[in-house]
């Protein structure tokens, strides 16, 4: 399919509805970022998603768009519940990969001499890397409990407090999870990976609040300039990966039985009202809940590590959860279409929710100011806190971007970094990093990603989310 682009304005580009496309494609980007987008096949993936049954509005892509499995990463698509589909490729392998940000009472200038030691302590205490396992070994009963209860299971076991649940998307648990649908392989992979960070772009980062853009919202979020905050990025680990893999195989195998004319086999899907579609959503919810429990436990262990490493008490540290938001998920939500409230299934793959003030899905904590939106940069670059905006509800089914977005594949990044000592380069600019392997640092070097400031400016100017604060990295651990 030949992709034609029409520039609508400074921040939006249209792929007109042609051929088998049921709706147009709409990409949020600027001129500079669009040059990078055109280098891969992600625009073709936007058009491919637009051909799926029951799609509503536009096939959307956020400014961090890049090539993914079936759907582009940074892709958002809404589907009618009667005629529409659910696709594992529209959620991703790492189900409920997401971000969690914690505030503290510490100041960056006070802990700067200790940053390297703090990173070493976190690296020692937090299991990282491919296939990493932690000290928690779940029984079948406990694993089922995690899959149904999510972050609440972790809180009941002493990892954090019930207040954390009010600052977690969906209170840390999706309804409808059914562990009886999971394969033996999925259950096995989840038994000893709870409370682990994983590898790739997952991280725990010590950051400093560098700039405040909106003082009122920053105060509501307990943010101030010079403050130390902690950013966690990880997901459902091998548990979610196996669930995705199991259903992709099943849906691919059954595709011939359906009347779908898929332009790409990676778009394997099932009708939302079918038994297969319902089973996938129930299994996906299990992985989503596992991920929320995972980040809840990692926050608790980070809290304990900092207390010990700094020899301070909890009151002095003052660590508190700001928010936890996911960015690989499919959710049934109410949206206004043609002046009517309609229940839709929203796929967000590498995209995050952006709910404005007053939205009923927000807990009372942030009902008046809007949902905190967490957008991490690449290793070595800034991250951002934004607030959900009305524009997202009107334009993007309450969605915005989830990060910077890759411009180099991991293979290309590894080749470009050949002969370089990435950890030393980062240390030279004041960022201490520890990782299980040198290859991870090469694959995740800052040049492998888009300019996060441009990505965030697009969503800010387009009205998908509003800037609140910019965060500067001080140290990071990776797998």
Does 260 have pLDDT greater than 80? no
pLDDT tens profile 34-86 = 999 988 999 999 999 999 999 999 999 999 999 999 999 999 999 999 999 99
295 lies in a domain?
yes
- Residues 322 and 295: beta-carbon distance below 8 Å: no
25 lies in a domain?
yes
Report the pLDDT value the prediction gives residue 134, as an integer from 0 to 100. 83
pLDDT tens profile 313-364 = 999 999 999 999 999 999 999 999 999 999 999 999 999 999 999 999 999 9
pLDDT tens profile 198-229 = 998 999 999 999 999 999 999 999 999 999 99
Report the pLDDT value the prediction gives residue 243, as an integer from 0 to 100. 98
pLDDT tens profile 363-405 = 999 999 999 999 999 888 999 999 999 999 999 999 999 999 9
Report the pLDDT value the prediction gives residue 288, as an integer from 0 to 100. 98
Does 477 have pLDDT greater than 80? yes
SS3 category, 436? coil
Report the pLDDT value the prediction gives residue 1, as an integer from 0 to 100. 60
Between these two residues, 157 and 39, which has the higher pLDDT value? 157
Report the pLDDT value the prediction gives residue 256, as an integer from 0 to 100. 62
Distance CA(301)–CA(299), nearest Å, equals 6
Q: Respond yes or no: is residue 402 known to be catalytic.
A: yes
Report the pLDDT value the prediction gives residue 229, as an integer from 0 to 100. 98
Report the pLDDT value the prediction gives residue 20, as an integer from 0 to 100. 95
Distance CA(93)–CA(346), nearest Å, equals 17
206 lies in a domain?
yes
Neighbours of 73 (CB within 10 A): 25
Q: Please tell me the total count of domains within the chain.
A: 1
Q: What is the CATH number of the domain that holds 317?
A: 3.90.1860.10
pLDDT tens profile 426-467 = 999 999 999 987 788 999 998 989 999 999 999 999 999 999
Report the pLDDT value the prediction gives residue 130, as an integer from 0 to 100. 84
SS3 of 256-306: HHCCCCCCCHHHCCEECCCHHHHHHHHHHHHHHHHHHHHHHHHHHHHHHHH
Q: For residue 353, what are its two tokens?
A: 């929710």
Report the pLDDT value the prediction gives residue 51, as an integer from 0 to 100. 97
Domain that holds residue 431: 6-478
Query: What single DSSP character describes residue 323?
Result: E
Does 307 have pLDDT greater than 90? yes
Mean pLDDT for 406-427 is: 91
306 lies in a domain?
yes
Query: What is the largest distance, in Å, between two alpha-carbon atoms of the chain?
Result: 65
162 lies in a domain?
yes
1 lies in a domain?
no
Query: What single DSSP character describes residue 85?
Result: E
Does 310 have pLDDT greater than 70? yes
Report the pLDDT value the prediction gives residue 231, as an integer from 0 to 100. 98
Classify residue 70 as left (phi > 0), alpha (psi -120 to 50) or beta.
left
| Alpha-carbon torsion (404, 354, 213, 317), positive or negative | negative
Q: pLDDT above 90 covers what percent of the chain?
A: 90
The residue annotated as part of the active site, out of 300, 303, 347, 402, is 402
277 lies in a domain?
yes
164 lies in a domain?
yes
Does 257 have pLDDT greater than 70? no
pLDDT tens profile 167-205 = 999 999 999 999 999 999 999 999 999 999 999 899 999
């Amino acid at each position: 399919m030949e992709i034609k682009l029409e520039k609508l304005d400074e921040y939006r580009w249209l792929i007109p509805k042609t051929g088998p496309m049921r709706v147009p494609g709409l990409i949020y980007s600027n001129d500079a970022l669009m040059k990078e987008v055109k280098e891969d096949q992600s625009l073709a993936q936007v058009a491919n998603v637009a051909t799926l049954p029951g799609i509503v509005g536009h096939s959307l892509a956020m400014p961090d768009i890049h090539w993914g499995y079936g759907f582009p990463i940074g892709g958002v698509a809404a589907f009618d519940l009667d005629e529409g589909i659910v696709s594992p490729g529209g959620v991703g392998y790492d189900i409920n990969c997401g971000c969690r940000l914690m505030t503290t009472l510490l100041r960056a200038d006070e802990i700067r001499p200790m940053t390297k030691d703090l990173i070493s302590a976190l690296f020692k205490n937090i299991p990282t890397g491919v296939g990493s396992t932690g000290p928690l070994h779940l029984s079948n009963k406990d694993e089922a409990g995690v899959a149904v209860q999510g972050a609440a299971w972790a809180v009941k076991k002493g990892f954090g407090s019930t207040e954390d649940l009010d600052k977690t998307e969906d209170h840390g648990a999706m309804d409808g999870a059914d562990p009886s649908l999971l394969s033996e392989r999925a259950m096995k992979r989840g038994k000893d990976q709870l409370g682990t960070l994983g590898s790739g772009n997952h991280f725990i980062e010590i950051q400093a609040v560098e700039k405040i853009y909106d003082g009122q919202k920053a105060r509501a979020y307990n943010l101030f300039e010079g403050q130390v905050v902690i950013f966690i990025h990880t997901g459902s680990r091998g548990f979610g990966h196996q669930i995705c893999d199991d259903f992709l195989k099943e849906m691919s195998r059954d595709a011939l039985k359906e009347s779908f004319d898929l332009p790409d086999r990676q778009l394997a899907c099932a009708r939302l009202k079918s038994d297969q579609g319902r089973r996938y959503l129930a299994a996906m919810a299990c992985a989503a809940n596992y991920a929320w429990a995972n980040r809840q436990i990692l926050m608790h262990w980070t809290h304990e590590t900092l207390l010990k490493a700094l020899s301070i008490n909890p009151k002095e540290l003052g660590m508190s959860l700001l928010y936890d938001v996911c960015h690989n998920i499919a959710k049934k939500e109410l949206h206004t279409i043609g002046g009517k409230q309609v229940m839709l299934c929203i796929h967000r793959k590498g995209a995050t929710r952006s709910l404005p003030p007053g939205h009923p899905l927000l807990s009372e904590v942030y009902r008046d100011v809007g949902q905190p939106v967490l957008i991490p940069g690449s290793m070595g670059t800034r991250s951002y806190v934004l607030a959900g905006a009305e524009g997202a509800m009107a334009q993007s089914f309450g969605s915005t971007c989830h990060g910077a977005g890759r411009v180099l594949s991991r293979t290309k990044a590894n080749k470009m970094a050949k002969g370089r000592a990435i950890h030393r380069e980062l240390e030279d600019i004041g960022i201490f990093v520890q990782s299980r392997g040198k290859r991870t640092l090469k694959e995740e070097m800052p040049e492998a990603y888009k300019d996060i400031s441009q990505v965030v400016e697009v969503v800010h100017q387009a009205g998908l989310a509003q800037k609140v604060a910019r965060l500067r990295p001080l140290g990071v651990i990776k797998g």
